Amino acid sequence: MHRLLERQIVRATRASGELDLAALLRLVDAAYIEADRERDRSDRTALITCEEMDQLNTELRKLAHHDTLTGLPNRLSFAGFALRAVQRAKLGESFAVLLIDLDRFKLVNDTLGHAIGDALLCEVATRLRSAVREADDVARMGGDEFAIVQFAEQPQSAEILAQRLVEGLSLPYSIHGHELAVGASVGIVFAGPGVHDIDVLLHHADLALYRAKNDGRCTWRVFEPQMPTRQNGRR
């Protein structure tokens, strides 16, 4: 600051060497005003930069936890959903995990190309969102497989949802001038207060899903304890 004052003193000094105090005061006031303006500009720039960084951080978090194609939560998000579900189950709540796999989706990709297949997956995601309640968690696990965590009175609620999913996802799709017909198979597993391993639940839901596939597709099956033996026998 003393350097700023020195410059103003030089500017306020007359040719005779006499200091013009009035001019000095005016120059110092103007310098302070300009310094305040510069500080305000710097503060605004810093604020904008912070806001941009916050926005970028939010976008990066969204990208990390959401499927870029459909906008649904991804497998990483589903792990969080499942962990919270297990914690709630320990407090006495029951929930169901539903795995959904599209039927005849590979045929769409092979015959019409991945662009049509991607558009179909987006439409499937839209139908899934409309089929579940706000309290249900839905995610894309990868490929043409999706998963739902449903908190409700079980097992009736999960089977009602499964039926709604099978019917809704089996309705015709109109994608870029193509009329497409695919279906969906659903595997269901129920969990209560004793559950502690989500990987086991997913494995059981997967076994139920394969049972639905083997029983003719476009249907749902509930996990039964004897399924692992039967499934291993088929393998």
pLDDT in tens, 81-128: 988 888 888 888 889 999 999 999 999 999 999 999 999 999 999 999
Among 103, 80, 69, 70, which Cα is nearest to 182's? 103
Share of the chain above pLDDT 70, in %: 71
pLDDT at 235: 43
Report pLDDT for 33: 72
Query: What average pLDDT is seen over the chain?
Result: 82
pLDDT exceeds cutoff 70 at 43: no
pLDDT (0 to 100) of residue 69 = 92
Residue 234 confidence (pLDDT)? 44
Q: State the pTM of this model.
A: 0.72
Domains, the chain, ordered by start = 2-63 (no CATH), 75-234 (3.30.70.270)
Question: Mind listing the pLDDT tens digit for each residue in 46-76?
Answer: 665 666 666 656 665 666 788 989 999 999 9
| Residues with catalytic roles | 144
